[in-house]
Amino acid sequence: MEARRHVALKESIRSIPDYPKPGIIFRDITTLLSDPRAFRRAVDALVHPYAGGRIDQVAGIEARGFILGGAIAHQLSCGFVPIRKKGKLPHTTVSMAYALEYGTDEIEIHVDAVKPGDRVLLVDDLIATGGTATAAVNLLQKIGAEIVAACFVIDLPDIGGAQRLRDMGVEVRALMQFEGH
Residue type, 95: S
- Backbone φ and ψ for 67, nearest 5 degrees, come out as -65, -50
Dist. CA 143–CA 44, nearest whole Å: 29
Which residues belong to the active site?
64, 101
Tens digit of each residue's pLDDT, the chain (181 residues): 344 455 579 999 999 999 988 988 999 999 999 999 999 999 999 999 999 999 999 999 999 999 999 999 999 999 999 999 999 999 999 999 998 767 789 999 999 999 999 999 999 999 999 999 999 999 999 999 999 999 999 999 999 999 999 999 999 999 999 987 6
Structural domain boundaries of the chain? 54-177
**CA distances for 67 relative to 33, 61, 70, 81, 123, angstroms:** 9, 9, 6, 12, 10
3-state secondary structure of 169: coil
3-state secondary structure of 15: strand
- pLDDT for the residue numbered 169: 98
Instruction: Tell me if 150 sits within 8 A of 133, measured CB to CB.
Output: yes
What kind of fold does domain 54-177 have according to CATH? Rossmann fold (3.40.50)
